[in-house]
Structure 1
Amino acid sequence: MKEIRKKYFVAFGEHLQKLLVRHNKDVMTIASIGKIEPKQVYRVLNGEHGASMGTIISIAKGLGISPKELFEFNFDLGKD
């Protein structure tokens, strides 16, 4: 289970990177608008850990999107 969580965190970070590009935003902008530390955004981007709900809301605010858009990517839970 630990391995699949790590893979999910990495996939989430990859999806977040695509959203940054799509919305033409950088980490510093997201962090500033969302009022969080850039370090938190970098950790999520790098798949180091899962984001808390507060971090999700802050990142979504920084991107100008709904929080649900951060979860709209494909991930196969059957893969180990």
Structure 2
Amino acid sequence: MKYYKAFGVNLNNLLVKHSKDVMTVASVGKIEPKQVYRVLNGEHGASLGTIISLAKGLDIEPAELFSFNFDMEKE
């Protein structure tokens, strides 16, 4: 669960960095805004399809969504 939260924090940082909002990312990525909010809040892990949609909506490469530090030893 901590990884999901860290992923959500990174997604939020990317939204800010790229001056995007949830509604825009959801619309461009063709997913429901509720799905984006669930990922942002760390409620569940994102499927590959969701990751691709988020990347499209942010206009980034999918790998950038995973570009954050996470201590696997503490998990």
**TM-score with structure 1 length normalisation?**
0.92
Query: Alpha-carbon deviation of 1:21?
Result: 0.1
Larger Rg: 1
1:71 counterpart (51, 61, 66): 66
Identity of aligned residues (%): 73
Give unmatched runs, 5+ long, in structure 1.
1-5
2:57 counterpart (43, 49, 62): 62
Superposed CA RMSD: 0.5
Give unmatched runs, 5+ long, in structure 2.
none
Alignment length (residue pairs):
75
Q: What is the CA–CA distance in structure 2 between the aligned matches of 1:50 and 1:76, rounded to whole Å?
A: 17
Q: What is the CA–CA distance in structure 2 between the aligned matches of 1:61 and 1:24, rounded to whole Å?
A: 14
Secondary structure of the 2:69 match is coil
The structure 1 segments of at least 4 consecutive aligned residues displaced by more than 3 Å after TM superposition are none
